């Protein structure tokens, strides 16, 4: 049986074998630690990013973080992720979860596997928060585990990439 390698896998193997994970934080997440701690906890965005960077380093991966309050900037970063040969995305679309078809289309268009993360349990909150434009494309969804949800998403991403690599770079995630 012959396995066709994606052009991303070929380009990645030529540049570096170190996994590259991009963590995207949507609008208002820069206010973590002070914004509605009942829903979002006391961890700051800096705390979360530092923990993820350390976890990545310990696993031999490059973890890059990016937060922006503007939809276009997040879309541009996703487009750039494909050019940068990012292997996996961990994304908390925040308020865009329930409204951004454009952000969804950027993720679908790049076909980079991703996990959707939410600090609060979106299904235990207002009705409008129960619908996500991303969940059906995501490899998985983590909701309601606070800052720890990001760490679990990163651990999953690294395991997912390791499994994919050990199976001849075969693409095992959902087709977008």
Task: Tell me which of 40, 96, 133, 150 is the catalytic residue.
Answer: 40
Contacts within 8 Å (CB) and 24+ apart, 110-113: 110/78, 110/79, 110/81, 110/82, 111/175, 111/176, 112/22, 112/78, 112/81, 112/82, 112/86, 112/87, 112/88, 113/87, 113/88, 113/89, 113/139, 113/157, 113/160, 113/173, 113/174
Clarify whether 40 is annotated catalytic. yes
Please list, in sequence order, all residues whose beta carbon lies within 8 angstroms of the beta carbon of residue 81, skipping any fewer than 6 positions away: 22, 89, 110, 112
Alpha carbons 33 and 112: distance in angstroms, whole number = 30
Alpha carbons 13 and 18: distance in angstroms, whole number = 9
Phi, psi (degrees; rounded to nearest 5) at 89: -120, 135
Task: Tell me which of 118, 133, 150, 160 is the catalytic residue.
Answer: 118
Clarify whether 133 is annotated catalytic. no
Catalytic residues: 40, 118
């Amino acid at each position: 049986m012959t396995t066709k390698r994606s052009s991303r896998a070929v380009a990645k193997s030529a540049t570096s074998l170190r996994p590259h994970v991009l963590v995207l934080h949507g609008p208002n997440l820069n206010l973590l630690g002070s914004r509605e701690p009942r829903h979002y906890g006391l961890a700051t965005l800096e705390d979360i990013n530092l923990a993820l960077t350390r976890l990545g380093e310990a696993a031999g991966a490059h973890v890059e973080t990016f937060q922006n309050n503007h939809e276009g900037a997040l879309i541009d970063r996703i487009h750039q992720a494909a050019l940068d040969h990012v292997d996996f995305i961990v994304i908390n679309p925040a308020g865009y979860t329930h409204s951004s078809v454009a952000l969804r289309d950027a993720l679908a268009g790049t076909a980079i596997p991703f996990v959707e993360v939410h600090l609060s349990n979106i299904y235990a909150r207002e009705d409008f928060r129960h619908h996500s434009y991303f969940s059906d494309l995501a490899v998985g969804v983590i909701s309601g585990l606070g800052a720890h949800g990001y760490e679990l998403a990163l651990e999953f991403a690294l395991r997912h990439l390791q499994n994919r690599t050990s199976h001849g770079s075969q693409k095992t995630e959902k087709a977008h």
